[in-house]
Amino acid sequence: MASTEIAHDFSPMLVVYKDGRIHRLAGNELIDPSLDPLTGVESKDVVISPETPVSARIYKPKPTAQPHKLPLLVYFHGGGFCIESAFSSFYHRHLNSLVAEANVVAVSVDYRLAPEHPLPIAYEDSWDALKWVAAHSAGTGPEEWLNGIADLDRVYFAGDSAGANIANRMAIRVGTEGLAGLNLRGLLLVHAYFWGGKLIGDEEKLNPEHRSFIEKLWYFVCPKISGLDDPIVNPGFDPELGRVAAERVAVFVAEKDALKNRGWFYSECLKKSGWGGAVDVIETKGQGHVFHLFNPTSDEAVDFVGKLAAFINGERRE
């Protein structure tokens, strides 16, 4: 008989029982790739590494007469490193909208989740996905959509929450190790899951239980973490932050998000790191964490997707 004793309760995300069972409470609604009737965006799934396994969902916009290749967006989903998927309904809807609005090709990475696969496994899976993407630079990779219409000289990394954390780590790794065949033009961090050992801004006003949840989750998904000022948690303590490979960075924060101050702090740290690019912080008033995923048809979400697309296309939209 299965034990009902709880070892870790991270509701409303997941519960872990003392017998080892893991009950994910969110992110379980998966959806098949499709030709989206609303946007004309087509998607399909690919296996990147059967051994791991690492996979991805690829999106391409409605065909046009445009003869040139399109920018490539590599997207990392959120979910605290422990729930959600590139194939979930939240992210499928979001990528359909973003790909149509920005007119880009997108690769949405599906990495392995904690606690079965604690960090840094999500980072390693994401790096493997990037190496797979880069293998298409000469037009001879395994995926025809990337060979035919993706411009690997115009690559953007993006992610929300934990996915934004991953996107930042990948941009740093490209800057420190290099990745031949892939030219990272921009980095989009949406409501990034960063934290630190010292509260900043108005974080002292947060509900103590909320703060505790944020902090305990880090130790849950990465048991070997050195503390809340570990570089993967707190970019201000990352000696390699100035090696971010992107020439432009957009940090998106939401006024009612508990992680809001961390986005502003990240931009300040990036400016002081010796990095030579341009960083902007764009704050959405009156909204909470990943509001655009929960209410994708709201005026605020539609406007938000427009801002993401504008950044990718080299525009600035207030």
Every domain of the chain with CATH number 3.40.50.1820 lies at 31-312
For the segment(s) 31-312, the CATH number from 3.60.60.10, 3.40.50.12280, 3.40.50.1820, 2.30.31.10 is 3.40.50.1820
Q: Across all residues in the chain, what is the average pLDDT?
A: 96
Instruction: Give, for 71, the enclosing helix (H) or strand (E).
Output: strand 70-76
Distances (CA, A) of 12 to 23, 80, 223, 269, 317: 10, 12, 21, 32, 34
Q: How far apart are CA 316 and CA 188, in angstroms?
A: 13
Q: What is the pLDDT of residues 158-202, one digit of tens each?
A: 999 999 999 999 999 999 999 999 999 999 999 999 999 999 999
Q: What is the pLDDT of residues 202-236, one digit of tens each?
A: 999 999 999 999 999 999 999 999 999 999 999 99
Q: Are 111 and 129 in contact (CB under 8 A)?
A: yes
Reply yes or no: is the peptide bond before residue 63 cis, omega within 30 of 0.
no
pTM comes to: 0.97
Q: What is the pLDDT of residues 49-95, one digit of tens each?
A: 999 999 999 999 998 766 689 999 999 999 999 999 999 999 999 99
Active-site residues, by number, are 161, 257, 289
